């Protein structure tokens, strides 16, 4: 524990220490089982209990209605870019994609291989530095679904409202980088999906929450592993599920419940982000790259206001040496990115803020 540093990685990302400690404690042998979670049959009663508990805790955490199915799949959020249109974008229909960044571009690209896509609300002309406003969004009446990306991991922007979609149009959300970072109204969505490795657990497991009636759209001829209906019918165990990932994800869900659930996570994330943006706004030495009303609570992107890349590089280098890892921004934005997901400790924000102020005193 003494040698853990502050991990600002955008993903895979920091996990709660109590979860890692429990994994470590039970890694060789689960209590009462005498084998590790990686060595037991997924058809064993032990694993069935683990996956059932993980699902129950996610349902409790997010208040998932009974009319929704919770799936644990593989292939990351990126496979959902394909699986989603293969199941839901049926012949003769159009899917709307809200184009708020790099990841929605990737999602729309796969959907275009399947059917008709209407890309709308693009803020590309502004470098994706903001979320589109309602009047920039032009939806297709009777669309198969509307796809949004709730948090733009690379650009550091986040939706702080849900887009208004028609009453009969399912809203689909790629929530990979802000899932369960605060309260969520699952009932306003048709599908929510997220690769686990940012806010939920290790890589290798993808959470999909899907409204039951949408399963009827999965064509019978679909490849078996790519069918939501088949995955749901088989309780995510048509084949061997990502057992270790499901186990850790379950522990993370339990940890979130113990913190007070999503309202508590939301309050903590607001407080953490406010401290960091407060420091960025304090003197103008730094420039947050996201427009104010679109700022992400999860990925805080910023540059040196002077535009001096050597200064940015020096900051990242010195910060790394001081025990703040993963602050280099994505090449598309440049500068710095501090990813401060649920499990990122508030003490790490306090120490980074102090380090930034000291760096500015020396270089400003």
Ligand X SMILES: *Cc1c(COP(=O)(O)O)cnc(C)c1O
**Contact residues for ligand X (CB under 6 A)?**
11, 76-78, 103, 149, 153, 174, 176-177, 195
Cβ count within 10 A of residue 156: 31
Least CB distance from residue 50 to ligand X, whole Å?
22
Q: How far is CA 287 from the centre of its chain?
A: 24
Least Å distance, CB 283 to ligand X, is 30
Residue in 96, 178, 198, 255 annotated catalytic? 198
**Taking the complex as a whole, how short is the minimal distance between the CB of residue 174 and ligand X, in angstroms?**
5
Catalytic site residue from 57, 96, 159, 174: 174
Look up 363 and say whether it is catalytic.
no
Q: 91 to each of 86, 116, 186, 219, how far by Cα in Å? A: 10, 9, 27, 11
Nearest approach, Cβ of 273 to ligand X (angstroms)? 17
Q: Which CB, 196 or 319, lies closer to ligand X?
A: 196
Tokens of 11: 């993903």
Question: 272: which residues sit within 8 A by CB, 6+ positions away?
Answer: 297, 340, 344, 346, 349
Distance between CA atoms of residues 21 and 6, nearest Å: 17
Residue 103 annotated as catalytic: yes
Cβ pair 67, 61 in contact under 8 A = no
Residue placing its CB nearer to ligand X in the complex, 149 or 286: 149
| Nearer CB in complex with ligand X: 11/266 | 11
Sorted by sequence, the CB contacts under 8 Å of residue 283 that are 6+ apart come out as: 360, 364
Q: Report the nearest approach of ligand X to the CB of residue 28 (Å).
A: 29
Q: For residue 12, is the peptide bond before it cis, meaning its omega torsion is within 30 degrees of 0?
A: yes
Catalytic site includes residue 174: yes
CB contact set of 167 (below 8 Å; sequence gap of 6+):
none
Instruction: Spot the catalytic one: 103, 159, 255, 286.
Output: 103
Q: How far is 42 from 39, CA to CA, in rounded Å?
A: 9
Taking the least distance from each CB to ligand X, the nearer of 286 and 289 is 289
Token output for 140:
């297709």
- Compare residues 200 and 356 and give the one whose CB is closer to ligand X: 200
Question: Annotated catalytic sites, by residue?
Answer: 103, 174, 198
């Amino acid at each position: 524990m003494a040698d853990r540093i502050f991990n600002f990685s955008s993903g895979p990302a920091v996990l709660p220490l109590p979860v890692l400690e429990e994994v470590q404690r039970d890694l060789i042998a689960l209590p009462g089982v005498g084998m590790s979670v990686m060595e037991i049959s997924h058809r064993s009663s032990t694993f069935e209990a683990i996956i059932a508990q993980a699902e129950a805790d996610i349902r409790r955490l997010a208040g998932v209605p009974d009319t929704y199915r919770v799936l644990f799949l593989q292939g990351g959020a990126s496979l959902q870019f394909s699986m989603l249109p293969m199941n839901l974008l049926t012949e003769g229909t159009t899917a709307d994609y809200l184009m708020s960044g790099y990841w929605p571009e990737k999602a729309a690209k796969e959907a275009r291989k399947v059917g008709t896509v209407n890309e709308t609300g693009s803020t590309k002309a502004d470098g994706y530095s903001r979320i589109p406003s309602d009047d920039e969004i032009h939806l297709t009446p009777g669309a198969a679904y509307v796809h949004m990306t709730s948090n733009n991991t690379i650009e550091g922007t986040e939706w702080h409202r849900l887009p208004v979609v028609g009453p009969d149009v399912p809203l689909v959300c790629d929530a990979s980088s802000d899932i369960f970072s605060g309260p969520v109204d699952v009932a306003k969505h048709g599908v929510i999906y997220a690769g686990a490795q940012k806010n939920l657990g290790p890589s290798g497991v993808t959470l999909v929450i899907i409204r039951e009636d949408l399963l009827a759209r999965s064509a019978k001829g679909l490849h078996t592993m790519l069918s939501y209906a088949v995955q749901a019918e088989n309780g995510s165990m048509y084949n061997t599920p990502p057992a270790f990932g499901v186990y850790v994800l379950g522990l993370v869900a339990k940890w979130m419940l113990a913190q007070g659930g999503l309202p508590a996570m939301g309050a903590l994330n607001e407080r953490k982000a406010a401290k960091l943006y407060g420091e960025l706004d304090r003197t103008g030495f730094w420039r947050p790259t996201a427009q104010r009303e679109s700022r992400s609570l999860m990925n805080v992107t910023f540059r040196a206001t002077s535009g001096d890349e050597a200064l940015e590089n020096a900051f990242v280098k010195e910060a790394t040496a001081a025990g703040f890892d993963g602050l280099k921004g994505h090449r598309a934005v440049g500068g710095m990115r501090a990813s401060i997901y649920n499990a990122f400790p508030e003490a790490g924000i306090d120490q980074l803020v102090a380090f930034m102020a000291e760096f500015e005193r020396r270089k400003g």
